[in-house]
Amino acid sequence: MSAAGEWCLIESDPSVFTELIKGFGATGLQVHELYSLDDESLLTMRRAGPPGTVLDSAPMLPVHGLIFLFRWHKEEKPAGTLVSDNRLEKMFFASQVITNACATQALLSVLLNTAHEDVHLGEKLSDFKELTASFDPTMKGLSLSNMEFIRQIHNSFARQTLMEFDPTSHQKEEEPFHFVAYVPIDGRIYELDGLKEGPLDLGKITGGDWMQDVRPILQKRMESFMGNEIRFNLMSISSDRSKYVLERMERLGTLEPTLADDTKVAQLQHELEECSRVLDSEETLKHHHKAECIRHTHNYMPMIMEILKVLARKGELGPMVDEAKERLSKKRKSEAQKPGS
């Protein structure tokens, strides 16, 4: 696998992926982390506003794709049927030829296969999609590896490490974690994994909601890890909730002059207040995503070194180190004396 310039590892964090989308220039989307696939959790994630009283209940947010992180196993059996016909010409699937780029590749697999009025890719991603439309998966992967714009955005989310570790140390090498995407395209569900030969067709969407069909597929895959691995993560890429709440508030505003019943007016005012509360919550969440990314990627080492220098000048660093060593020694002795140690 080619390095194509260095690509950093990226955390499976909704804050990081939200800011990645913004960095690429795409709009109209937001990222949710899914802790459960039960009905209540999916409803909470997808409800586009507060429950309605004056208007019908709030609609469900369209989910454009899922990103799944898991520990990669070479011998894992494919869950679906390999796509090798002309459907490949109608979707974006790129072979992964870049080390450490699977997070961005999974995200782009969702973005570049989304055709929804809520989603705007932006100029650069739209140009890249158009440029690579006729390419085969290998050429799409190579084109991605040479997109300096995408690589720079990807690497801007590198997490700072405080220490450098010796790469020649003989530690047991663990299998890496890997990101893949699940997307609905033309009435079918596909798994897009750049390490596989092509897209995997997971079956037809039987109802109007593809999430109901992909849920058992994901649950089965997660259960297959339960014996020896519990570290996996699932995120959804959906339309931006704020847009739907604002549209609902506009509809409520046009209704107010037509209501003669004081009870209905009070209900409308309450619903407007609830919508405003949801908007405030969404705005707070966006600020949180941005702050989390800054916290994750900021280099704290200069600050730490300055603190250590000040402590050393005051003669306080040595005693603090000795005290820490003593606490560690007592802890180890206590643990060694426990039954079964």
The residues annotated with a catalytic role in the active site are: 102, 178
In DSSP notation, 194-249 reads: TTSSS-EEEEE--SS-HHHHHHHHHHHHHHHHTTT----EEEEEEE-HHHHHHHHH
Q: State the Cα–Cα distance between residues 175 and 137, nearest whole angstrom.
A: 25
In our burial notation (b when 16+ CB lie closer than 10 A, e otherwise), range 218-257 reads beebbeeeeeeeeeebbbbbbbbbbbbbeebbeebeeeee
Burial class (CB in 10 A: 0-12, 13-18, 19+), 297: middle
d(CA 178, CA 296): 20
What is the distance in angstroms between the CA of the first residue and the CA of the last residue of the chain? 44
3-state helix, strand, coil in the chain (%, to 5): 50, 15, 40
Task: Give the number of other Cβ atoms within 10 Å of residue 259's Cβ.
Answer: 14
List all residues 6 or more positions away from 90 whose beta carbon is below 8 Å from its beta carbon: 185, 186
Residue 321 Rama label (left phi>0; alpha psi -120 to 50; beta): alpha
Tell me how crowded residue 106 is: count the other CB atoms within 10 A of its CB: 29
